[in-house]
Structure 1
Amino acid sequence: MQLTGEQLIGYQVVRGKGRELLAMNPHDQQAISTPVFTCATGDLVDQACELAEHAFDPFRATDPETRARFLEAIADGIMGLGSTLIERAHLETGLPVARLEGERGRTAGQLRLFATVLRQGRWQTATFDSALPERQPLPRPDLRMCKIPLGPVAVFGASNFPLAFSVAGGDTASALAAGCPVVVKAHRAHLGTSELVGRVIQEASKRLELPEGTFSLVAGDGSDVGQQLVSHPAIKAVGFTGSRAGGLALMRTAAARPEPIPVYAEMSSINPVFLLPGALANRAGSIATAFVDALVMGAGQFCTNPGVVLAVEGPDLDAFLARAGVHLSEKAAQTMLTSGIHSAYAQGISRISDEPGIEAVASGQLDSGINQAQGQLYQTAFANVATNAGLLEEVFGPAAIVIRCQNVEEMLAFAQSIEGQLTATLHLENQDLKIAQGLVQAMEKKAGRILINGFPTGVEVCDTMVHGGAFPATSDSRTTSVGSTAIERFLRPVCYQNFPDILLPAALKQDNPLNLWRQVDGKPLAPSR
């Protein structure tokens, strides 16, 4: 598949009229000469949104099987790109080939997961309350409820996952599954990768004769295209993964519209790790090794990177720090995704290093190459953190702070006062269970996923996964951007009262043409065949 640097507007391939862009190779910070990309101008963004608006009714009217086959065709097409996709993504991101191959499999897997969700049908929540005409003092009408799609969705590709959280990532997959057309803004850090995947979606849409406007891909540099996209009246929801500043800017734009819309933004998290006394006494060395491995994985460019560790002062914590320091010193520097991310990382560790009361524990191996991230581990006393909230700001990259607590009460105080998080982790033994109860209770109110005796890097794509959390981890703590329930972000319930069968959506028709499990008068009812 040949790259052209053009915008994908519905079924069309259009040369943008905005300024020219070249993709960059983060290994050497050299421009990739071909192709030359161009920014979308306002007319193209409008065209993409208007096509999505016109596509909405016919696309939401497609049956679940058609949309399931669409998602599977996208998954097959992505896998069919083979080395072309992997080589381009490696060139644009610096991520290792093995990592990208795994991410490609995850991307195809989550598309197929939503195909399964569509065929199962429970996402529609078909529910019946039968008419009770003889009820006194008032009869009850026939009431039926199911969920329908919100409307066209704007999706923003993420820098750190060029496949799984980008053009055909979880936001796009779940929105398309719900019946929502999607307009994606390609991330500046992987323009060619985005075009390759976008062309797969465009081709699948054409082949299955879906309405034009079911999918579009626009590119831009800076915030103009994204702001226009979120402001457009045709867009009814937004999926975003990125920085807190970026997410908040989109939220403000969405809230200021004449018709405010939801922004499902995954933004900022330091993912605290609590080392309870029994676990630290029994496994300090092995926990330290696993922690450092998680810390530097992917140059620390994961939203679930463990950025803060808490433990009680003593020789067991000293042993943990000693082992973690040795293991980190053996870790090579890694290329970060962009020069901007690398610069922000350098500023972040400089800020931490300059704070009073912060002590450097160890560093990874130094590399003088371009955009190389050296792992960093610091320690400080709980009292310093309690009076300096700036120490708990996310540093995107392989850096972490160990907080030395005087007792478990300080660990609990931290858990109760911290901002919302994507994850929280507890390392414990049986003797720690009583302490753990209070920490779990505190972190349930803050985190979307709580782990025992593990590390949060690595997010399983499945029915039970929650990749969310209280603000600022996400903009809406009731939702997840990973897992089958991500589809619920792009649906809303509608009740149908005293409807003739012919006017009901298929999920609620009397003869159950979609063969769904449905709830009837408070009881689950299996399909008849």
Structure 2
Amino acid sequence: MNVQPLLIEGDWQLPRELVGTLRAEDPTTGEAIGPAFPIVGAADVEAALRAAVAVADELAATPPERIAAFLEAYADGIEADADTLVALAHAETALPKQPRLAAVELPRTTGQLRQAAKAVRSYAWTSPVIDTAAGLRSHHAPLSKPVLVFGPNNFPFAFNAIAGSDFASAIAARNPVIAKAHPSHLATSERLAQLALAALRKSGLPSASVQMLYHFDHEIGAKLAGDARLGAIGFTGSRAGGLALKAAADAAGIPAYVELSSVNPVFLLPGALAERGEALAQEFFASCTMGSGQFCTNPGVVIVPRDEAGDAFVAAATAHFANAAASVLFSRGVLDHLRQGIATLCAAGAEVLAGGEAAAPGYRHAPTLLSVDAAQFLRAPKALQTEAFGPASLLVRVDDVAQMAQVAAAFEGNLTGTLYSATNGSDEETWTRVAHALRPHVGRLIGNRMPTGVAVSPAMNHGGPYPSTGHPGFTAVGMPSAIRRFTALHCYDHVPDHQLPAELRDHNPGGVARCIDGCWCIDDLDQGAQHA
């Protein structure tokens, strides 16, 4: 049987244990496209893990300049091959070539790689701390173990297991990566892996620093996630899949950074609705249906006052949804999950205002708007926070500010929470009350913007309380913070200067920002502290 090779041990190899094959699908027709890719057994997984373990110490000791050179060469290679990559991703996901893939996501991906390279050169991710009186010095250091990365279905470039933020972060921390491609973009991932290997060879990193497997069954995945030879796991995807991997990793003491689900509540305060309700209805509809609603930051629940302005907003939003064409989803699995989510919301008391039906050909579903009374939401908050991943959202109608604050306090952990307020200041007291109730439940609090934009910035938090992620203190976007997920905190107690890592020695390599006796400074220890 002809199947595509795997990237293992620094080269392309045919599977050792082929247990099946899979092909990508055209979401617009549901038909299989492209070559057959291997579903592998335990032998191939073991080979990749063994090879990654073998180079972990060498990669951890690699000079930062070579790591940065790899990240930049990879970014250059992606840009040079942009037309091919965009065509592959478009065929496998049905996401538009322009602007989504070519002008937005691909530049975001290369930007992340270059930001990671910058953080490597500046040692920013290591956060060196020196206490001269106590004789202590500490920093974040490589795990000296492989990182297993699972890519999601909704970002063929920016979160791809072999090119996205988790990948860039793990490599920047000088850890080998074993990438698990997503079935929704097999050929795209293969091409990215080819470019990664070329950059790897150009920069001279160890041959097994980057490896990629296409697919294996859940039992093998759980066994791999619980293998003590792993250093950490990065996962973006379904709550069920992520929690299964996390359980296996937790049992073995392996950190698992999992992004699971989020409904990203949006609160429309009374003054904002009275001021610009029709514009907000259009903004909401555009955000909910962008990318067919297949974003982890999709506005899945919108809280609307029950008054004249709120009624007008609901009517306008309903019209937008009712008049919209069916959206193309990534796969049969996404379509089934969306239908199940809508059914769960309806069973819990929600009413469909527009949409609600699947459509042919391929994997299409009508943009769907639902509504429920706040009292019912508060009676069944868990069921009514079910993620309907796709172009769907639930309106929650509240009677007053007190009820709005109650709804805010009832939310599970989310990646984002948004409040729209009036420009004339009339919502100030309401904003304060609702924001206070909402703040503990969201990673990123947003003012007067829909949540679907995620800037690649050092100040970004793309994380949040459970169940949006498995840990509220870490972000999957933004260097250098994202890098620190895949590190170990190393402390040195009265260790001689010449035996310390470079950024902890008395002489400061290249003006690294270091916290010395409570002050951030950039000079050598014997020159006195100059603030960074």
TM over 0.5: yes
Structure 1 counterpart of 2:75: 75
Deviation at 1:235, TM superposition (A): 0.8
Quote the Cα distance in structure 2 between the aligned partners of 1:222 and 1:276: 47
Structure 1 counterpart of 2:271: 278
Structure 2 counterpart of 1:113: 115
Q: Is the 8 A contact 2:126 2:484 kept in 1?
A: no
What percentage of aligned pairs have identical amino acids?
39
Deviation at 1:526, TM superposition (A): 1.6
Q: Is the 8 A contact 1:10 1:202 kept in 2?
A: no
Q: Is the 8 A contact 2:344 2:386 kept in 1?
A: no
Structure 2 counterpart of 1:154: 148
Quote the Cα distance in structure 1 between the aligned partners of 2:225 and 2:359: 40
Deviation at 1:364, TM superposition (A): 8.6
Structure 2 counterpart of 1:134: none
Deviation at 1:39, TM superposition (A): 1.5
Q: Which of 384, 393, 405 is residue 400 of structure 1 equivalent to?
A: 393
Structure 2 counterpart of 1:42: 42
Instruction: Give the letter aligned to residue 159 of structure 1.
Output: N
Give RMSD over aligned pairs: 1.8
Quote the Cα distance in structure 2 between the aligned partners of 1:64 and 1:514: 12
Alignment of 1:262-301 (within 5 A): 262-301=255-294
Matched, 1:250 2:250: no
Q: Is the 8 A contact 1:111 1:173 kept in 2?
A: yes
Give 4+ residue runs of structure 1 displaced > 6 Å after superposition. none
Quote the Cα distance in structure 2 between the aligned partners of 1:306 and 1:341: 17
List runs of 5+ in structure 1 lacking aligned partners.
Answer: 132-139
State the TM-score, normalizing by the size of structure 2. 0.93
Structure 2 counterpart of 1:447: 442
Deviation at 1:492, TM superposition (A): 2.1
Q: Is the 8 A contact 2:170 2:486 kept in 1?
A: yes
Deviation at 1:314, TM superposition (A): 1.0
Deviation at 1:495, TM superposition (A): 1.3
Worse-superposed segment, 459-468 or 318-327? 318-327
Quote the Cα distance in structure 2 between the aligned partners of 1:146 and 1:352: 47
Structure 2 counterpart of 1:19: 20
Deviations 1:235-279 (A, max 9, x none): 11100001110111011111122xx11110011110001011111
Instruction: Give the letter aligned to residue 445 of structure 1.
Output: P
Structure 2 counterpart of 1:511: 507
Deviations 1:340-359 (A, max 9, x none): 11121122223334544x33
Q: Is the 8 A contact 2:67 2:205 kept in 1?
A: no
Worse-superposed segment, 424-433 or 9-18? 9-18
Worse-superposed segment, 317-326 or 10-19? 10-19
Aligned to 1:519, what secondary structure does the other structure show? strand
Q: Which of 518, 522, 525 is residue 522 of structure 1 equivalent to?
A: 518
Deviations 1:310-338 (A, max 9, x none): 12211111110111122223322121001
Matched, 1:377 2:369: yes
Structure 2 counterpart of 1:165: 159
**CA 524–347 in structure 1, closer or farther in 2 if over 3 Å, else same:** closer
**CA 366–268 in structure 1, closer or farther in 2 if over 3 Å, else same:** closer
List runs of 5+ in structure 2 lacking aligned partners.
Answer: 528-532
Deviation at 1:366, TM superposition (A): 7.7
Q: Which of 159, 173, 179 is residue 178 of structure 1 equivalent to?
A: 173
Q: Is the 8 A contact 2:342 2:356 kept in 1?
A: no
Deviation at 1:225, TM superposition (A): 4.1
Q: Is the 8 A contact 1:332 1:364 kept in 2?
A: no
Quote the Cα distance in structure 1 between the aligned partners of 2:459 and 2:348: 40
Q: Is the 8 A contact 1:506 1:514 kept in 2?
A: no
Q: Is the 8 A contact 2:66 2:204 kept in 1?
A: no
Q: Is the 8 A contact 1:329 1:365 kept in 2?
A: no
Matched, 1:6 2:14: no
Matched, 1:261 2:254: yes
Structure 1 counterpart of 2:89: 89
Quote the Cα distance in structure 1 between the aligned partners of 2:154 and 2:435: 29
**CA 57–319 in structure 1, closer or farther in 2 if over 3 Å, else same:** same
Q: Is the 8 A contact 2:345 2:386 kept in 1?
A: no
Q: Is the 8 A contact 1:242 1:267 kept in 2?
A: yes
Quote the Cα distance in structure 2 between the aligned partners of 1:487 and 1:444: 25
Worse-superposed segment, 318-327 or 417-426? 318-327
Q: Is the 8 A contact 1:330 1:365 kept in 2?
A: no
Q: Which of 307, 317, 326 is residue 314 of structure 1 equivalent to?
A: 307
Structure 2 counterpart of 1:437: 432
Aligned to 2:369, what secondary structure does the other structure show? strand
Worse-superposed segment, 19-28 or 470-479? 19-28
Worse-superposed segment, 513-522 or 79-88? 513-522
Q: How many pairs does the alignment contain?
A: 514
Structure 1 counterpart of 2:468: 473
Instruction: Give the letter aligned to residue 36 of structure 1.
Output: A
Q: Is the 8 A contact 2:41 2:216 kept in 1?
A: no
Deviation at 1:195, TM superposition (A): 0.8
Worse-superposed segment, 67-76 or 474-483? 67-76
Quote the Cα distance in structure 2 between the aligned partners of 1:359 and 1:513: 62
Quote the Cα distance in structure 1 between the aligned partners of 2:69 and 2:467: 36
Deviation at 1:69, TM superposition (A): 1.2
Q: Is the 8 A contact 2:223 2:248 kept in 1?
A: no
Deviation at 1:513, TM superposition (A): 2.9
Q: Is the 8 A contact 2:67 2:172 kept in 1?
A: yes
Instruction: Give the letter aligned to residue 8 of structure 1.
Output: L
Structure 2 counterpart of 1:28: 29
Structure 2 counterpart of 1:363: 355
Aligned to 2:248, what secondary structure does the other structure show? helix
Aligned to 2:69, what secondary structure does the other structure show? helix
**CA 171–252 in structure 1, closer or farther in 2 if over 3 Å, else same:** same
**CA 366–416 in structure 1, closer or farther in 2 if over 3 Å, else same:** closer
Deviations 1:43-83 (A, max 9, x none): 11111111111211111112222211111111111112222
Aligned to 1:95, what secondary structure does the other structure show? coil
Deviations 1:265-310 (A, max 9, x none): 0111100010111111111111111000001111110000001111
Structure 1 counterpart of 2:192: 197
**CA 224–188 in structure 1, closer or farther in 2 if over 3 Å, else same:** farther
Q: Is the 8 A contact 1:331 1:365 kept in 2?
A: no
Instruction: Give the letter aligned to residue 188 of structure 1.
Output: P
Instruction: Give the letter aligned to residue 79 of structure 1.
Output: E
Instruction: Give the letter aligned to residue 373 of structure 2.
Output: A
Structure 2 counterpart of 1:137: none
Deviation at 1:90, TM superposition (A): 1.1
Quote the Cα distance in structure 2 between the aligned partners of 1:391 and 1:427: 22
**CA 50–515 in structure 1, closer or farther in 2 if over 3 Å, else same:** farther
Deviations 1:121-167 (A, max 9, x none): 22211222224xxxxxxxx4x22111101231100011111111112
